[in-house]
Chain A
């Protein structure tokens, strides 16, 4: 629990909180992926990474837009541009600097495999029609992200010695940031009781099996699931990287808040 958290009281407040958690994850990872534009290892990947970034920012924008309507905020940009790092609810995994291509792929794989199971379950659970409609639409694209990153994990692992080493390093480095995906804080539990979120521990084993089988096929070593895990970002306690990311993302919009930019 951070300095500013309050547990939502109404169902609508819970829904907004969940929308923002999902959206923040996607906006921040989309931002990191968008940093590749024009710098990819080959043209096909310039296209693919831009495509995934575009999907993620698009998903975030739709989720924010719905939250804005519920909360009577001006629009989706309110959340992206006019909140500080302590307000952002994304997990730390997505805010880490973009790293090399192996790091980008390993992170995309960890995140999209988690999203795959999460969305699959949410679609079965969420009663709010608008929210559910979005989840279904975005799920199709998540399947592509998972396929894209999984194929590249295999290519790295079973490619050359260098690619194997690089992606192994990436997984080792990223591992301590995977814990936050599966945290069930008080807010998540209450939201799950209200059919607005799901108990992620229900399918953690399935997720692990997908990770294990992929890494095994890629001839990689699965890091220790029981190691130290970073925690706190969902409640505004981020890494040092988010502040810089937001400084860049928000500066123009905040410098001229009265200007029309849409």
Chain B
């Protein structure tokens, strides 16, 4: 059991803005929360490769094909160092992966929606990566050192992805009638799901207070969401895209954009596994993992034989 003194000392370090490193003492609950957050983040990067990978072979120019392939490759890289970061907390990558493939570990619900046209790729760059950046910029100041550093690195690459997505969407939004239609349709489908990425309202978010107390997060879900909406309204306007919310109004007093009700029923349903692509995404990941088993075994066996030869 963690003693009160240990807990107090830990809290003091957090309040002083110190960074917690893997070998430092930490409350068991802090460790658990970080394992949960970091591995969910890692799973999201990996599952996120699927909806985007869906358009690599069909990308409409060689340049866009390479941009997309590089982006998906970046996501594999993010997944890899987030898993490595999580391993500093005393868990193994294999367990974490099996937790979401066979168990109940979550990943970002946004990836349970399909990418139906190439414009979806642009919108994922602009809105989904944009929302991720808002979240990760905050997490780059997280109290846990390895997580903060991972987020710092991820943010740099995500900013690049966002820029590429936004630029291409702008091109489509000012392109031919068909391109405009694809662009607007994609925004209409992704907008609300993106707002849900920040998680439930603060009043319904059981983990928030604790995470803020421990400096893992420094802003609440609603604060981050508001920041994202304010920014997105301007960005949409600049490229002639309409956000699908008739209630969007600017509040002169607060300086913020007020928005309509988020469809929370849909959010909870997707979180619980009933979204348009939940089953398919997990099935795909499970298939890759199981079909890769003999490859991983072969590599391990080969390494073992080489080690034996070296030892003798």
Contact = CB atoms under 8 A, between A and B. Distances in A.
A43 B293 CA distance: 12
A54 to B, nearest CB: 5
B283 to A, nearest CB: 12
Contacts of B58: 248-249, 251-252
Interface string A118-158: 00000000000000000000000000000000000011101
Contacts of A261: 60-61, 64, 171
Interface in B14-62: 46, 49-50, 53, 56-62
A259 B79 CA distance: 35
B interface, size bucket: 35 or more
A217 to B, nearest CB: 11
Interface stretch (A6-14, A29-37, A174-182, A205-213): A29-37
Interface residues of A, number: 50
Contact of A46 (B59, B76, B118, B294): B76
Interface of chain B: mostly helix, strand, loop or mixed: helix
B254 to A, nearest CB: 39
Contacts of A46: 49, 73, 76
B202 interface: no
A46 B72 CA distance: 9
Interface of A: 27, 31, 34-35, 37-47, 50-51, 53-54, 57-58, 60-61, 64, 76-77, 80-81, 100-101, 154-156, 158-160, 162-163, 166, 248-249, 251-253, 256, 258-262
Interface of B: 46, 49-50, 53, 56-66, 69-70, 72-73, 76-77, 79-80, 83, 118, 171, 175-176, 178-179, 284, 287-288, 291-299, 301-302, 305
7 contacts: A38-B72, A39-B53, A39-B284, A43-B80, A51-B73, A81-B61, A258-B176
